Structure 1
Amino acid sequence: MTTLHNRYLTSWNRIDDPSTGDYHFKMDVDGLPEFFLWDKQAINYRSGPWNGLRFSGVPEMNATYNITFTLVLEKDEVSYSFGLKDKSLNSRVTMSSLGVLQRYTWIGSSQNSNLYWYSPKDQCDNYMECGVYGICDINASPICKCIRGFEPKDLQAWKMRNGFSGCVRTSELTCHGDGFWQLKNVKPPETSTVVFNRSMSLSECRQACLRNCSCTAYANSDIREGGCGCVMWRGVLDMRQFTAGEGGQDPYVRVFAPDLIRYVELVSLISSLPHFIEFRGINFLCLLDTTLYNIGIRLRKKCHLGSPFLRTPCHRIDNNYLLIRFNKR
């Protein structure tokens, strides 16, 4: 897109009707550039922001043998293009009449057209599947989880596997007593309202976020060569968990500092103890999220459910903990 000129993909009305359909795939340039797939006035999918190498929510854009990707981000031009190193190949991106973005490649040697990539491809590609401050993980069950320091806004809907209402903080921020929790390998939040600076370091970005009470998260804007630049969010929307091999980024989300301290203390405690908890003769198995794996602890102590030993009630140690009750022996 150059000034006063914006080009984007639109779908056909039907497979046999080339008139303009309901879907279009369009770059948003209000913050860090990223693409949105629209169904009329509703967002179906977003690509994640450009991170210097690719759009961070599209693992298929990881370095490939044949296809190169380029984003121009200048004062009077924002444009995206791709190229092919092997001139015997051809590639095209289309928007189907059903609202599916598809990349096809033509392989000259076999005279075949191959579907190389498409989106949305699963439930976690749906826009806002797990709401604000929620993360969608297609390899988990249920697929929605809250960031540490948050809990489901509508617990009943959450239990019914409807995460659209998202998550809310368990403790309010104080602005001057906050910390950051680092997420790993996620599609960063939506960037249409972010502030970014391409010359700041990550430590400078952290300090700038701490000084701004409305800043809720920060990260490098460019992941090349160890990372550079700064992007700061004022809201955390529509994140997805990837595996380490798929990529994603590692943003830092603002949380109440004592919540971080309690979590670190609890991790240290759990790591130093055996395998089960026993309260009033009732055994519990403490299942932790994938950050801590499945570790249990056993305390042969008589204590009430609000035990100061664990600092929080035994029945809900943390958002990401589940206590499963077993029968007495």
Structure 2
Amino acid sequence: MKIGKDLVTGLDRYVTSWKSTDDPAPGEYVDLVDSHGYPQMLLFRNSSIVFSSGPWNGLAFTSSPSNKPTLYYTFEYVINQQEIFYKYELKNDSMPTRVVLKPDGVIEQLIWIEKSHSWLLYLTAQLDNCDRFALCGPYAICNINNSPPCDCLRGFEPRYPQDSTADWSTGCVRRTTLECNQDGFLEFSGIKIPDSRNSWYNETMNLEDCKKMCLADCNCTAYSDLDVRNGGSGCLLWFGELIDIREFSQNDQNLYVRVAASELDKTRRRKRLALIVVMSAVVATFILSFLAWFSIKRRKRRRGSEIQNDDIELPLFDLVTVTSATENFSSANVIGEGGFGPVYKGILPSGQGIAVKRLSKYSGQGIQELKNEIVLISKLQHRNLVKLLGCCLEGEERMLIYEFMPNASLDYFIFDPSRKAPLAWKNRFEITMGISRGLLYLHQDSRLRIIHRDLKTNNILLDSDMNAKISDFGLAKVFGADQVEGKTKRVIGTYGYMSPEYAVDGKYSVKSDVFSIGVIILEIVSGKRNRKFRHLDHHHNLLGHAWLLWTEGKALELMDECLKEPFSESQVLRCIQVGLLCVQKLPEDRPTMASVVFWLGNEGLFLPQPKQPGFFIERNSMESTESTDKVCVSNSASITVLEPR
């Protein structure tokens, strides 16, 4: 696929969305190469920018959280006097791929899986709310794990501090006025490089000359390498305000932002203080390290065996068996990719299908999450929990072996127009009951009291009979008999399914999981994602929309429009009511899972009236104006990291 601009003829090659999934007329969204300043990919909704790829750094666009090459295709970005274009080419022609710009503006990359004869979502460009263009305003940075997600760059402060808890559209201003020749630069790493429409670039300069050129021009606000390959080369200068910056821990391109000399002095003082603290810690650590040496050496020897302790009741698979089952971990057998690493489909010599979850050395998770998942699932047995068959712990390999789920995950069905149509209400209700029973078992009936902490449609797997099974216990926590609540400074999970108290304060309990299942129930009924929900009459998420319909006596309008077969209205209404009871703002107002299962499974019961749901706040609408005519290349597709199957 090739998108770009012919500088000789002036013609654009771009992608446009359909008007709807059923109407191929041009829609509101257009994805194209913008040639102002240093070229970048921009996604427009009519004439408003809603997403920017960021500049190309030689390996990838800076909106990508990783510069590592993919298994299936190569990227190329070309800028010369004749044309500017971006394209990708398949590494393996036997695995077709396509890019689709969906009617809702999401850009998706899909690959064709021959064995299942279906398209599989491989990547999505827009990862989360921080990908909304210029969400945090000038000189601010977005971190989706913070609440609120916006904060000022070092050396800057909110333009209007009184609005900084909710509205960041005005961004930040300098704490100290620039003095031109007396200024310096602060270094920022692990970020998406700012919008480059007001920039200048040179491919041959080095970074030091780039710095001198920026310092000599009082209007220059930042500089960076143009290309990060081979130690960095080229020069990219920004003029004017810096916008559309977000944090990415794996991005290799550093940004140097102009600040007053006094701000550099403050930074140096902080570094000196930090150095004193570090040196003191080093001395103390040196003393303790000798005492701990034998313990550390012992732990290294037991790296594999520390997982194989008496608390684990699982068989061990040898590496040869797993390698053979997955055809030497063939890329054609990859069925998912999560924070843990790739997931492979395999077939044992007995003919049994397996899913192999292989810990990657680049994984965001590690040995502790692996051990956590093994210890927990080895002690859990329930028809609505995915079955862990064993593990492989040979050499440096760390793998979990699960039963294979031929129908993938719940989100694979209910959010896809072509797949959810055959999913009748009877199936959806049974899936809802299955998830509820599985969660009740975790909270109350298992040998351990488990808080899942990452319950979402991606982690609900479906077997050949469409029975729901809860999976992925890497983030789960075990509670003692008398423990009611836990708290963490490291909030990990999925926005849209997190309860307010966990997302904001790091507090988790059984009621956190109850909130998550409430979101899932409403998504099952409506066939729509909570976080991506859009409505013409308001800007609430799915929870807010369901609440409005409930208070207006129109709750049945929440039902997925593709559900045409006969169904029990009272059963649907009961599911909606239970879902709303589960997502109430305060944890103490939410029911226990015992109540949820009882209410869902029994007709004619009197249920409490739900109170206002969590996150009942209208989101800012995206301004839309008239669209401009463009030349279209194709109409299809979006880019997201897959969860394990």
TM-score interval, normalised by the smaller of the two chains: 0.7 to 0.9
How far does residue 87 in structure 1 lie from its aligned partner after superposition?
1.4
Mapped contact 1:60–1:117 kept (Cα < 8 A): no
Q: Flag the structure with higher strand content.
A: 1
Secondary structure (helix, strand or coil) at the match of 2:109 reads strand
Range 107-116 or range 12-21, more displaced: 107-116
How far, CA to CA, are the matches of 2:66 and 2:183 in structure 1? 36
How far, CA to CA, are the matches of 1:90 and 1:61 in structure 2? 22
Superposition map of 1:39-118 within 5 A:
39-59=45-65, 62-118=68-124
Superposition map of 1:111-130 within 5 A:
111-130=117-136
How far, CA to CA, are the matches of 1:159 and 1:68 in structure 2? 41
How far, CA to CA, are the matches of 2:217 and 2:66 in structure 1? 35
How far, CA to CA, are the matches of 1:129 and 1:40 in structure 2? 18
Aligned to 2:190: 185
Q: 1:133 aligns with which of 129, 132, 139?
A: 139
Mapped contact 2:65–2:249 kept (Cα < 8 A): no
Aligned to 1:28: 34
How far, CA to CA, are the matches of 1:64 and 1:87 in structure 2? 15
Q: 2:221 aligns with which of 216, 238, 241?
A: 216
How far does residue 86 in structure 1 lie from its aligned partner after superposition?
1.2
How far, CA to CA, are the matches of 2:117 and 2:64 in structure 1? 27
How far, CA to CA, are the matches of 2:236 and 2:200 in structure 1? 6
Matched, 1:172 2:160: no
Aligned to 1:252: 256
Larger Rg computed on CA atoms: 2
How far does residue 253 in structure 1 lie from its aligned partner after superposition?
0.2
Amino acid at match of 2:94: S
How far, CA to CA, are the matches of 1:271 and 1:71 in structure 2? 42
Amino acid at match of 1:197: N
Aligned to 2:270: 266
Amino acid at match of 2:272: S
Give the 3 Å change call, closer, same or farther, for CA 227–271 of structure 1 in structure 2. Answer: closer
Q: Deviations over 1:272-326 (max 9, x none)?
A: 469xxxxxxxxxxxxxxxxxxxxxxxxxxxxxxxxxxxxxxxxxxxxxxxxxxxx
How far, CA to CA, are the matches of 1:88 and 1:109 in structure 2? 12
Mapped contact 1:56–1:248 kept (Cα < 8 A): no
Q: Which runs of 5+ in 1 are unaligned?
A: 275-329
Give the fraction of aligned pairs with identical amino acids, expressed as a percent: 38
Q: Deviations over 1:222-281 (max 9, x none)?
A: 11101000000013111011113xx2521100000111112211332355469xxxxxxx
Q: 2:248 aligns with which of 235, 242, 252?
A: 242
Q: Flag the structure with higher helix content.
A: 2
Mapped contact 1:93–1:104 kept (Cα < 8 A): yes
Amino acid at match of 2:265: I
Aligned to 2:334: none
How far, CA to CA, are the matches of 2:32 and 2:66 in structure 1? 19
Q: Which runs of 5+ in 2 are unaligned?
A: 281-645
The TM-score normalised by the length of structure 1 is: 0.79
Q: Deviations over 1:61-115 (max 9, x none)?
A: 6311221001111011111110111111111111111111111111224423111
Give the 3 Å change call, closer, same or farther, for CA 62–29 of structure 1 in structure 2. Answer: farther
Superposition map of 1:2-41 within 5 A:
2=6, 3=8, 4-41=10-47
Q: CA RMSD in A?
A: 1.7
How far, CA to CA, are the matches of 2:83 and 2:30 in structure 1? 21
How far, CA to CA, are the matches of 1:169 and 1:260 in structure 2? 13
Mapped contact 1:133–1:147 kept (Cα < 8 A): yes
Q: 1:202 aligns with which of 207, 227, 231?
A: 207
Q: Deviations over 1:148-189 (max 9, x none)?
A: 1100001111123x2111100000000011010000111111
Aligned to 1:290: none
